[in-house]
Amino acid sequence: MPIQEEINTSDRLSLARFLTQVENGDPNARSLLDTLYLQSGRAHRIGVTGAPGTGKSSLVNRLTLHIRQTLNKTVAIIAVDPSSPFTGGAILGDRLRMRDLAGDSGVFIRSMASRGALGGLALATTQLARVFDGAGFDYVIIETVGAGQSEVEVASLAHSTIVVEAPGFGDDIQAIKAGIMEIADILVINKADLPGVENTERALRANLELGYNRTITRKAGHMDMSTKAKNEDSQWHPPIVKTVATTGEGMSDLLGALLKHREYLENSGQLRKLESKRLESEIMNLLQDRLTSDWIKKTGTRKMESAIQEVVNRRWSPNQAVDWLIEQSF
């Protein structure tokens, strides 16, 4: 059933339907997904992340408008709403603010609710970004709501990660944000017309200095001194950009910083290096899944169930159960 052959990714409705197939892990999506992958590798993936209330969605909205107006490039937005284990639902209200972009055929917005495993979300986002890339979109913006693990995942998918802050946030939750600071390629202080912007900037700068020094020290452990000296010179220093998303202030600065970061990634060889690493771990994960599903197909689930019972009843250890299960497949 080569259902995929009918899909034309330049038709919006067709593309939307295909994205749903991909998100659902539909096996029929595979052959077009393969084709699109071979055409991919041109889009710039931008991650936008930060705490709720910093104006992330408005910023994505404005940045997209700015890219459309000044560069005339196409933009796909993937809004990832990791459903909190607490609410069980996605926060889709922010999407309403995107209406400025609704009539523009050079913009495609896709909301994605996380369901279940974090690994599942990362895989689905990777594949959606790949579809947009292969379908010819120049920029793919991945926006995450919330804090924690999802930020780190975005950073590992994006070429450039923007961390959004706002005055009044974060002075008392530094410890929590320490990890988020490190993933930033560009720091944005949004709502820069509010009081307290100087304090926020000072705090961020202090954190950046600290982070920069530690990174150098840590990285130095893995390389000889000559490489170290070379890398210190070519290190990327995350700039701090002040914006007011509601008025569009600072958008040229932000786009300028993004273009500069892209240039840095290309010239330093980081782009290819990071891409290789990302693909390697993707291939390893796919291989693991395939080996396991092949094993289950061959051995059946009944043996698995009885092994679990032996472990629950403390007659076997988990390792002994796996020894037995591996023997069963021969």
The whole-angstrom distance between residue 223's C-alpha and the CA centroid of its chain comes to 28
Residue pair 154/144 in contact (Cβ under 8 Å)? The answer is yes
Considering the complex, state which of residue 48 and residue 251 has its C-beta at the smaller distance from its own copies: 48
Binding mask 206-245 for its own copies (x = CB under 8 A): ----xx--x--xx---------------------------
Mark residues 112-151: x for contact with its own copies by CB under 8 A, - for none: ----------------------------------xxxx--
If you compute the radius of gyration of the chain from its CA atoms, what whole number of angstroms results? 22
Q: Where does this chain touch its own copies (CB under 8 A) — which range of 4-12, 94-102, 247-255, 273-281?
A: 273-281
- Rounded to a whole number of angstroms, the minimum distance from the CB of residue 284 to its own copies is 8
In the sheet with 75-81, reading across from the earlier edge strand, the strands are 107-113, 75-81, 139-144, 44-50, 160-165, 186-189, 240-242
SS3 per-residue string spanning 71-109: CCCCEEEEEEECCCCCCCCCCCHHHHHHHHHCCCCCEEE
Among 72, 297, 314, 327, binds its own copies (CB under 8 A): 314
Does the protein bind its own copies through residue 3 (CB under 8 A)? Answer: no
Instruction: Name the helix (H) or strand (E) containing 140.
Output: strand 139-144
Nearer to its own copies, 189 or 251 (CB): 189
Q: Which two tokens stand for residue 316?
A: 């076997």
The residue within the footprint of its own copies, chosen from 6, 8, 41, 216 (CB under 8 A), is 41
If binding is defined by CB under 8 A, does position 266 make contact with its own copies? no
Q: Which region among 71-79, 98-106, 174-182, 245-253 touches its own copies (by CB under 8 A)?
A: 174-182
Question: Between residues 71 and 287, which has the closer beta carbon with respect to its own copies?
Answer: 287
Largest CA distance in the chain: 69
Q: Where does this chain touch its own copies (CB under 8 A) — which range of 9-17, 92-100, 237-245, 290-298?
A: 290-298
Instruction: Tell me how far CA of residue 90 lies from CA of 145, 175, 189, 249, 325, in angstroms.
Output: 10, 27, 25, 29, 39
Considering only 216, 229, 286, 306, the residue that binds its own copies (CB under 8 A) is: 286
